[in-house]
Amino acid sequence: MIKLTKPLQTLILGIFVIYALTPVYLVILAAMRSEADLFSGPLTMPWPPNWQNFSRVWGDSGFSVFFMNSMKISASVTILVVLCAPPAGYAFAKMKFRGREPMFALFLAGLVVPAPSVIVALYGNLQTLGMIDSHIGVILPQAALLLPFSIFLMRTVMQDVPDELIEASTMDGATPFETFIRVVLPVVRPGIMSLILIVFLFSWQEYLLPLVVLQTETLKPITVGAASLQGRYGVDYGGIAAAGLIAFAPLVVLFLAMQRSFVRGLSAGAVK
């Protein structure tokens, strides 16, 4: 049996740091380079960095538009989910009503539904509704597909709200809706923050739905834009790398800044 000594443990930790960060380093490197060839030459960061790839991709290849589309879609999806999931999670956590168990099971089943398996019917429905090639046709289904996870998270969060708080508010003559807005929501603010971050992240990363729903170039989000750039300019590695960086840098920064919130939200479902 090998002995897992302290230095060996540190080595293992280090190897996985390299595994995690090498691809990230490479894409930054490629984005900062002017040469057409990608990794020939030294693997050190060029100095001073070359921002040409960014300005070219941002302007000429339309990434400012893709970026704004991603912003618009992800923000709308997040708002929609935040309007729908907390009240539903509250109902499942704190209210007794007919059909509670089957209804919760219905949402729970949605946790595992693969988007590609609903797309066959969803595509036709969106056509009927006149939502193909429009942002609303991406936003509504995406929010709906994120609801099971969001409701599950909100239910877990709402279960920790003390019953006495709700009862006291009801005693004071508040309607259930007033109680929810004035008493419950302020208590679960950290949970809502986690929800916002995670939904925004998932929505920003989404590829399949916008790929099939949107045809007009100027409507596409950044994931679809980056993938199509790869097809169009197969050899413009610097440009593709810059595009990729624009696509994920905001997410990495957001995650590092709000790490606690993310982790709380992601592990909430697993612990219970």
Q: Which is nearer to another protein, 43 or 189 (CB)?
A: 43
Q: Which is nearer to another protein, 113 or 189 (CB)?
A: 113
Contact map string, positions 238 to 267, toward another protein, x by CB under 8 A: --xx--x--xx--xx-xxx--x--xx--xx
To the nearest 10°, the Cα dihedral for 203, 67, 244, 239? 160
**For residues 170-229, which are near another protein according to CB under 8 A?**
176-177, 180, 201, 204-205, 207-208, 212, 223-224, 226-227
Question: What is the per-residue burial (b if ≥16 Cβ within 10 Å, else e) of 227-251?
Answer: bbbeeeeeebbbbbbbbbbbbbebe
**For residues 88-117, which are near another protein according to CB under 8 A?**
88, 90-91, 95-98, 100, 103, 106-107, 109-117
The SS3 call for residue 96 is coil
Query: Would you count residue 85 as binding another protein (CB under 8 A)?
Result: yes
State the nearest-atom distance from the C-beta of 51 to another protein, in Å.
Answer: 19
State the nearest-atom distance from the C-beta of 62 to another protein, in Å.
Answer: 16
State the nearest-atom distance from the C-beta of 226 to another protein, in Å.
Answer: 6
**For residues 30-59, which are near another protein according to CB under 8 A?**
30, 37-40
Tell me 218's DSSP state.
Answer: G
Of 45, 68, 83, 181, the one binding another protein by CB under 8 A: 83
Exposed/middle/buried for 198, CB within 10 Å: 0-12, 13-18, 19+? buried
Q: Which is nearer to another protein, 47 or 98 (CB)?
A: 98
Q: Which is nearer to another protein, 50 or 123 (CB)?
A: 123
Query: Would you count residue 17 as binding another protein (CB under 8 A)?
Result: yes
State the nearest-atom distance from the C-beta of 11 to another protein, in Å.
Answer: 10
Identity at 44, one-letter amino acid code:
T
| Segments in the chain forming alpha helices (H) | 6-32, 52-59, 63-94, 100-110, 115-128, 136-159, 163-171, 176-179, 185-187, 189-205, 208-213, 222-232, 237-257, 259-271
State the nearest-atom distance from the C-beta of 41 to another protein, in Å.
Answer: 11
Please choose, from the candidates 144, 157, 148, 153, the residue with its C-alpha nearest in 3D space to the C-alpha of residue 76.
144
